[in-house]
Structure 1
């Protein structure tokens, strides 16, 4: 007699999904009866599994066997489905965030799960979703609702500021130590004053600087279009491209490269971020 080969876990799970999908197409009365049968079978399985688990837990040897059995993906999934094993808060919170990621991506950004401590979740908005704008607050509220709905143990959702780093630091500037001002560095605004993708004008003595934060990196350029020497701070920004408000020259703020005339580019300044303060090396 030929022994039927055991189907693997993924194939069995696929069969369940396909049958459930087919049930959705049944008439309402038939669909309700099929779902009621599904619930009854699952309740029967849960009752038997819980009795089996309690029996194993009566001895140390049984506990070891139970732990070893739970390493099998199919057994773990069955225990998880019936609430015999519960995922840790971090895993459950991460699953909740997966539901909102498509919406975040549609707004040009994302969300990172930083950590879970007690009943508090710490997340970081990324890309166009970061900052203090009204849209960012709307996204924050959506994230909080999704997490609390899936993980009721969570009471607080805290937004962590995106880590800000230097976008341009040539080798010779990296060696500056000690007193930064004596080495030609000038303290600019705090990193929190820069919103993602919104250039800020900073003046020091007779020098105008254009500061911009892109994907958590701060870039500094001379606030001067190399075409005619006019200021750029009033230019329209689309993603990382700024358009000179005077004659329409376009520049990539992530590199300083001119998209209109490749032979010219913006003059960059070395930048460093220390204790949330932006320093620019102007000399």
Structure 2
């Protein structure tokens, strides 16, 4: 349910600082509005001039570097911060299809935790076409995976795309293309929607086999680490409807201390012996920080 590894609390701190520079620039631009429309326009023009200047410099550096050593393209693309800046200036050494394929490789461990996989069918006219295989097509967590993990990764790798289409496998009974806005239809119908990603750096401190409780805006969450994977679920036992506080982890089975019900955390919280199904909370590393997408009740 999470990427293969999560960094320590101090790892990638500098990268995270620069990845959020865009938000700080936007905040400063909004603050300039207090000086009136003319002040805001001048501030935006200044940002564009500086961006264009550094873009021209980056292009010349890329031309020189790749002419000397074409293998540097792989190193540039592997560095998230460098790659993101190259994307901003349209200088990324890889085409959109290769970038999307690499992004899907990064989220495959998350899909695998739900027993599924994804195939890139192609990219044409700004539309990415995907096909999912395995149990993730039908389990309640699949919509979460599609909407939050796959789309987040694909759009980060290829911000120029206009749409993502999910094509049913040939063996599926359904027909047609699933529009991105309908991916969470079943989850929404159950009375939930998903908020923005919430940073949870404490997740990186969990040791193998450890279980911890975390409070994020409006929701209590139980998280645990199984090997390299950190998995999180809403703090509610579907069997006894009580809290999972004090739950113990044996292998990949989380057992409620109140009623003894067990849940396979490595398989989207599926109940062991018909004990119901935990409600998963997506966990991804964003901007170098472990983060959770938290559900809230829809009024």
TM over 0.5: no
TM range, normalised to the smaller chain? 0.3 to 0.5
In the superposition, the TM-score normalised over structure 2's length comes to 0.35
In the superposition, the TM-score normalised over structure 1's length comes to 0.37
**Structure of greater relative contact order (alpha carbons < 8 Å, 6+ residues apart):** 2
